[in-house]
């Protein structure tokens, strides 16, 4: 395992950092002002044009082959780039690297037919449209995806879809052109073969945006969250992604990248949180001392650094394993970071709120959003408990018993024999 940046990755990192500092960051206050008024940022398309012209476009797509789109960086090469983008919630959109579009692009790259790619993937690659992935439903415990109940019934050359989805990231975006919807196509099949994924254009009759949702009071301005109903929605069978019964396969192909990219960006966000704690505590005095001089604050910052470096290494190892062994080989590693990184983000953001005092919970800093984001990541893309169960199940059982363990003293067992 070598986690040093390759020459190629270092070049991309420098280029992205320069663009971020010179072009993106100066717009941050403007972005906040516009989104607070509920307006789209008027400079976004111009920034996207510049990023694309600089080659900083579709950086998060995997190395699938020479003729595939994007920069074709490995996951390990992409990690430091995602960290830079993670410092601002809206920065990934400048480079067409935002969720949920990138995982959807990866699902389409892997599972779509050439016709589907031309119609749905190409506009996404060019940021002419946006997308969403619709799995979760209000009426069933969706952390167990076999519960998903939306019906997709074959009728001639079409599927007729009926159901309800909620917490669908990106579905409330005005540019959202289509969703990948997961539903039941064969209720008699094995539990993991009942579901399929179908591409549903947002303007299909019967698709209704019921409401826009917020998470812990925060609006997702990059990919607004929606609740949707599907009433007799008719789509062609040509919109089926992969084969019937392969809904889980499609979901898994997109979930690995979705999870690791969130973790990579969260690490960049935590770097910013540590910087914020350093600067704020060095500039403020309480009870005759600089806040930074208090042991507690020093300890919070130092502990944050320890946790951040651990999480970064774990994430790099996961990226490396995804590159080496694909998502099947990296399943355990993805679960490890999916639990570790959000917990770290939540802890560091909580410390940052404390260091900032009242300001830490205000809209004047990104800290409370970081806290909400960390909390979300402990549920979204599978709750902690589901990943911890996976991790536990993969824990090998040692081949010794307590009574004959070479690592333990024999005394308690010998004593028991004489009692
Ligand atoms: C902001 C946000 C954005 C989202 N974006 C999307 C999206 O774009 N598309 C989409 O389809 N979904 C999305 N989701 C939904 C998310 O993936 C689900 O909320 C998640 O999978 C959990 O499903 P649930 O809410 O139905 O919780 P439930 O399944 O009802 O689970 C509730 C709780 O039960 C417990 N639990 C469940 N299973 C186990 C277990 N095996 N062991 C122990 N305890 C367990 C856990 O504590 C869990 O949190 C989003 C959610 C949020 C909050």
Cα dihedral angle (202, 203, 204, 205), rounded to 10 degrees? 130
Quickly count helices (H) and strands (E) in the chain. Answer: 14, 10
Residues 6+ apart with CB under 8 A from 273: 304, 348, 349, 352, 367, 370
366-378 tens-digit pLDDT: 999 999 999 999 9
pLDDT band at 405 (very low <50, low <70, confident <90, very high): confident
Q: Please give the Cα distance from 388 to 374 (Å, whole number).
A: 17
Q: Which ranges of 118-236 does DSSP label H, i.e. alpha helix? A: 122-125
Q: Which among 371, 352, 345 is positioned nearest to 274, based on CA atoms?
A: 352
Q: Residue 363 class from Cβ within 10 Å (0-12 exposed, 13-18 middle, 19+ buried)?
A: exposed
Judge if the beta carbon of residue 133 lies within 6 A of ligand 1: yes
Given 3.30.1330.60, 1.20.140.10, 3.40.50.300, 2.60.40.2890, which CATH number is that of 248-393? 1.20.140.10
pLDDT band at 1 (very low <50, low <70, confident <90, very high): confident
Judge if the beta carbon of residue 216 lies within 6 A of ligand 1: no
Q: Is the dihedral of CA 36, 40, 45, 51 positive or negative?
A: positive
Judge if the beta carbon of residue 191 lies within 6 A of ligand 1: no
Choose one of 103, 182, 380 to mutate for the ligand 1 pocket test, by most ligand atoms within 8 angstroms of C-beta. Answer: 380
What is the CATH code for 7-97? 1.10.540.10
- Index of the ligand 1 atom closest to the CA of residue 169: 8
The lowest-confidence range among 74-78, 157-161, 178-182, 334-338 is: 74-78
Tell me the CA–centroid distance for residue 141 and ligand 1, in Å.
Answer: 7
Residue 56 near residue 91, CB atoms below 8 Å: no
Domain chopping of the chain, boundaries: 7-97, 130-245, 248-393
177-221 tens-digit pLDDT: 999 999 999 999 999 999 999 999 999 999 999 999 999 999 999
Q: Which among 295, 301, 240 is positioned nearest to 273, based on CA atoms?
A: 301
Instruction: Give the homologous superfamily in CATH for domain 130-245.
Output: Butyryl-CoA Dehydrogenase, subunit A, domain 2 (2.40.110.10)
Judge if the beta carbon of residue 215 lies within 6 A of ligand 1: yes
Here the tokens at position 42 are 């008027």
Judge if the beta carbon of residue 169 lies within 6 A of ligand 1: yes
Tell me the CA–centroid distance for residue 343 and ligand 1, in Å.
Answer: 16
Q: Which residue has the tokens 């400048």?
A: 94
Judge if the beta carbon of residue 136 lies within 6 A of ligand 1: yes
Q: Between 68 and 157, where is the model more confident?
A: 157
Q: Looking at residues 243-262, what average pLDDT do you find?
A: 95
Choose one of 101, 130, 143, 227 to mutate for the ligand 1 pocket test, by most ligand atoms within 8 angstroms of C-beta. Answer: 143
| pLDDT at site 413 | 63
Are 7-97 and 248-393 in the same CATH fold?
no
Q: Which residues pair with 179 in a beta bridge?
A: 132, 200
pLDDT value at 45 more than 60: yes
- Index of the ligand 1 atom closest to the CA of residue 147: 29
151-155 vs 195-201, strand pairing mode: unpaired
């Amino acid at each position: 395992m070598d986690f040093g940046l390759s020459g190629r990755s270092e070049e991309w990192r420098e280029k992205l950092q320069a663009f971020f500092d010179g072009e993106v960051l100066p717009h941050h206050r403007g972005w906040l002002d516009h989104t607070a008024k509920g307006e789209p940022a008027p400079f976004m398309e111009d920034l996207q044009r510049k990023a694309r012209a600089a080659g900083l476009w579709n950086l998060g797509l995997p190395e699938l082959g020479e003729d595939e789109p994007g920069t074709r960086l490995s996951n390990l090469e992409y990690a430091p780039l995602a960290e830079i983008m993670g410092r601002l919630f809206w920065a990934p959109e400048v480079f067409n690297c935002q969720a949920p579009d990138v995982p959807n692009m990866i699902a389409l790259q892997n599972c779509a037919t050439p016709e589907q790619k031309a119609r749905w993937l190409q506009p996404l690659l060019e940021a002419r449209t946006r997308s969403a992935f619709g799995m979760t439903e209000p009426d069933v415990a969706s952390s167990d995806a076999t519960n998903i109940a939306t019906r997709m019934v074959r009728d001639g050359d079409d599927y007729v879809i009926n159901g309800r989805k909620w917490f669908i990231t990106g579905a409330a975006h005005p540019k959202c052109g289509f969703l990948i919807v997961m539903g039941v196509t064969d209720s008699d099949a094995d539990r993991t073969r009942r579901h399929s994924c179908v591409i549903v254009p947002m303007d299909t009759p019967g698709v209704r945006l019921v409401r826009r949702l917020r998470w812990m009071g925060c609006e997702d301005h990059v990919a607004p969250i929606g609740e949707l109903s599907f009433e007799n929605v008719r789509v062609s069978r040509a919109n089926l992604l992969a084969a019937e019964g392969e809904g889980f396969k499609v979901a898994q192909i997109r979930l690995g990248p979705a999870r690791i990219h969130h973790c990579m960006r969260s690490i960049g966000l935590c770097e910013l949180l540590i910087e914020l704690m350093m600067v704020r505590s060095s500039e403020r005095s309480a009870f005759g001392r600089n806040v930074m001089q208090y042991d507690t604050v020093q300890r919070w910052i130092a502990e944050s650094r320890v946790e951040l470096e651990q999480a970064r290494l774990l994430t790099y190892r996961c990226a490396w394993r995804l590159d080496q062994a694909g998502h099947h080989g990296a399943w355990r590693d993805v679960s490890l970071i999916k639990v570790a990184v959000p917990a770290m983000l939540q802890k560091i953001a909580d410390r940052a709120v404390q260091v900032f005092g009242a300001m830490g919970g205000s809209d004047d800093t990104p800290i409370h959003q970081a806290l909400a984001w960390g909390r979300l990541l402990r549920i979204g893309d599978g709750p902690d408990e589901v990943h911890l169960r996976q991790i536990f199940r993969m824990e090998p059982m040692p081949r010794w018993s307590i009574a004959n363990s070479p690592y333990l003293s024999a005394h308690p067992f010998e004593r028991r024999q004489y009692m």
